[in-house]
Amino acid sequence: MAVGSGDTGILHPVPGITMSVVSAGIKKPGRLDCVVFSLGESANVAGVFTSNAFCAAPVTLCKQHLASINSRYFVINTGNANAGTGQAGIENARKVCLEIAELKELPVSTILPFSTGVIGEQLPVEKIVDVLPEALKNLQDDNWLECAKGIMTTDTRPKATSLQVEIAGKTITITGIAKGAGMIKPNMATMLGFIFTDADIEKANLQKMVKRAVNVSFNRITVDSDTSTNDCCMLVASGKSEVQVDENNKEFMEALNSVFVSLAQGLVRDAEGASKFVTIQVEQGASQEECLGLAYTVAESPLVKTALFASDPNWGRILAAVGRAGINDLVIDKVSIFLGDVCIVENGAVSPTYNEADGQRVMDQAEITIRIILGRGEKTETVWTSDLSHDYVTINAEYRT
C-alpha cells in the first residue's frame, strides 16, 4: 500500500556516472540486492550520516574512506545491515571494498560501502564478493530504476527522480535514488540516498550543499520516529559538464533541493503500511525549533496517526498534541488549526464554522494537510509523515520471518 502513482518520470543519465545491479542472494535467491556505482576520476563526493550511536560498520568505514581520498566506487547491499556486528563487521565491510579495489587496481579507501537490512547479523561477504566482477563488467549509464529496486528492503516501489537545469548556457543534470519505508525519523537523513550531478563543485562546497538540501528534505520526514543505524545520504558531482556552481547558485540549489524533497516525500508516500501522505505545517511560531518540535509531536502521535488511518476527523487528538508539545508560554486563544481547507480550531476552541461533514471530507482524502497557526512569531516549518495502519504492525512484527 502506498500513496500516489510512484511515477519516476524520465531518469536522465549523469555524465561520468555508471552503475549496475546484480543478485548476490543475500536474503532471497534471485533478488537484486547488490548495487555498484562508478564515479569517475574527477568526481567529488560529500555525505551526511546517521546520528545513531550504534552506527553500522559500513557507516564507520565510509566516513573513514571519505575523509582520506577521492572516492571512485560505491558498493551497496540490501538484506543485511552489518550493524551491531563489532570489529568483525568492520573487517567484513572492508573485505567487500578490498575486492573492488583489487579488481580495479585502486586504493581500498576509494571504495565506499553501504548496507541496509536486518541488524545484528554478520555480512555474508563471500556472496557479495562473488558477484562483484559481474557488477563491474555490466556498468552502464541508464540503469537507475533497477538500481533503485536493488537497494529496497520493505519498500514496495523504487524511489528515483531526475531534473535538468540550464546554467551558463549548458544543461546540468541531477538524478538520484533513495530507499526507506520504516525506521524513519531523521537526525540527518533516515534512509539510503544517492544523488548525482554533472556540475563541477568543489568538495567543501559540495558538503555545504548536501547539508542544506538534507535539512529541507530528509530532515523533515518521519514515519515512526525511529532513527536507523545505517543512514547515509551522498551527493556526487562528476564535474563532466565543466560548469562550476556553489551553494550560492540559486538555480542549481532550487533544482537540487527539489530532487531531495521529491525523494524524501517518496519515502513517506511508500511508508510501511501507509494509506495517507500527511503534511504538518506550523505557522507563526517564535522559532524554527519550536515549529519543528510541534510539527514532529503531531506527526508522531500514535493517536493522531491512527485517526488518520481510520479517516476519522477526531480533531481533539491534534489539539491535545499541540498542547503537550512543550511550547513555553503558549497562548491558546491565539491558536488556530486547519484540516485541509477546514478550520477546526479558532482562537483556541472549536471553530463556530466547523462541522463533522467538512472534516470527514478532508480525512477521506489520501493526501492531507494539517496547518497549525500559533500567532506568536514569523517562523514556519513543514514536516511530512504518514498514517499508522494494521499493515505497519504486521510488516514489522514479521520483518525477520
User: Which sign does the torsion angle of CA 381, 163, 113, 158 carry?
Assistant: positive
Q: Helix, strand or coil for residue 317?
A: helix
Report the DSSP pairing between strands 18-22 and 170-179: unpaired
Nearest residue to 167 via CA among 255, 234, 286, 73:
255
Domain boundaries, given as residue ranges, for the chain: 18-269, 277-397
395 pLDDT more than 90: no
pLDDT, mean of residues 48-74 = 92
**For 278-326, what is each residue's pLDDT tens digit?**
999 999 999 999 999 999 999 999 999 999 999 999 999 999 999 999 9
Interatomic CA distance for residues 48 and 234, integer angstroms: 7
Residue 180: band (very low, low, confident or very high) from pLDDT cuts 50, 70, 90: confident
190 pLDDT more than 70: no
The partner residues of 282 in beta bridges, in order of sequence, read: 372, 381
- Position 373 scores a pLDDT of 98
**For 334-390, what is each residue's pLDDT tens digit?**
999 999 999 999 999 999 999 999 999 999 999 999 999 999 999 999 999 999 999
Instruction: Identify whether the C-beta of residue 326 lies closer than 8 Å to the C-beta of residue 286.
Output: no
Interatomic CA distance for residues 360 and 38, integer angstroms: 50
Nearest residue to 110 via CA among 65, 156, 62:
65
pTM given for the model: 0.94
Q: Which residue has the cell 511550547?
A: 327
Topology classification of domain 277-397:
Ubiquitin-like (UB roll) (3.10.20)
Helices 316-323 & 302-309 angle (0-180, nearest 10): 160
- Position 397 scores a pLDDT of 86
188 pLDDT more than 60: no
**Average pLDDT along the chain:** 94
118 pLDDT more than 60: yes
Instruction: Compute the residue count for the chain.
Output: 401
Q: b/e map of 23-35 (b: 16 or more CB within 10 Å)? A: bbbbbeeebbbbb
pLDDT, mean of residues 249-254 = 97
From 18, 154, 190, 197, active-site residue:
190
Copy the grid coordinates of residue 270. 511508500
Interatomic CA distance for residues 315 and 358, integer angstroms: 12
**For 126-163, what is each residue's pLDDT tens digit?**
999 999 999 999 999 999 999 999 999 889 999 999 99
Query: What is the domain class of 18-269 according to CATH?
Result: alpha beta
3 pLDDT more than 80: yes
- Position 289 scores a pLDDT of 96
229 in catalytic set? no
